[in-house]
Amino acid sequence: MLSSYAGLFVAGMAVYLMYRFGQNLMLWTLLGSAWAYEMVMLQIRINGHPADYGTTRLTSWTLCALLLTGFLAMLMLATIGPLARVRWRWLVVAGALTYPFYLVHQSIGVPLGEELTLHVAWLGVWGRLTVTVAAMLGLSWLIYRFVEKPFGRLLRRGLTRGLKAAEVARASR
């Protein structure tokens, strides 16, 4: 199951490496391969997701492919493109929530969406999606505020101390 999402991880890493070290043919090939892999895996994933609950009509592969490609393009515009210079305050908050959101969106968000579909169908697709995304963003903020921030400081101090000790030991040789 997780291997079907490997292309998303690889694409994200390729874009990060382009951001960090500059673009080159190897990274563009890696990005293109990861995108192509995801286009293939997309059909497998959407086969299990009917377009309407209780029907056999499938979600549109074309729509999903366009959305996935659009999100990848936005990621690239924001990291190695012209949007990399944008410095809006809310983007800092959005960036802080990305990792906690990544941690909870599938393990908690998908089951929540399924339960809402079963028990609160009257909300409609967009209502259920809104409730699910809002809940995952709220949970992500709680994780950021009460786990990442306090423990991040402790980790940073400990790692800095360890690096300084290693540097002193290396200098004394």
Q: Profile the chain (173 residues) by mean pLDDT over runs of 10 residues.
A: 81 95 96 94 79 68 92 93 89 88 91 91 90 96 93 90 87 83
- How many degrees, rounded to 5, is the angle at CA 92 between CA 89 and CA 94? 110
Question: Could you tell me the two tokens for 64?
Answer: 């999903």
pLDDT for 130:
95
**CA 74, CA 80: separation in Å to the nearest integer?**
10
pLDDT for 17:
96
Which long-range contacts does 118-125 make (Cβ < 8 Å, 24+ apart)? Answer: 121/53
**CA 172, CA 98: separation in Å to the nearest integer?**
42
**CA 167, CA 173: separation in Å to the nearest integer?**
10
Question: Could you tell me the two tokens for 77?
Answer: 């515009």
pLDDT for 44:
84
pTM of the model: 0.69
**CA 41, CA 92: separation in Å to the nearest integer?**
32
**CA 34, CA 31: separation in Å to the nearest integer?**
5
What amino acid is encoded at 155 in this protein?
L
pLDDT for 106:
87
pLDDT for 80:
93
pLDDT for 168:
86
pLDDT for 69:
96
125 and 85 Cβ atoms separated by less than 8 Å: no
Site of tokens 């040789």 = 173
pLDDT for 55:
65
Beta bridge partners of 50: 58
pLDDT for 52:
63
For residue 24, the SS3 value is coil
Is 100 buried (19+), middle (13-18) or exposed (0-12) by CB count in 10 A? buried
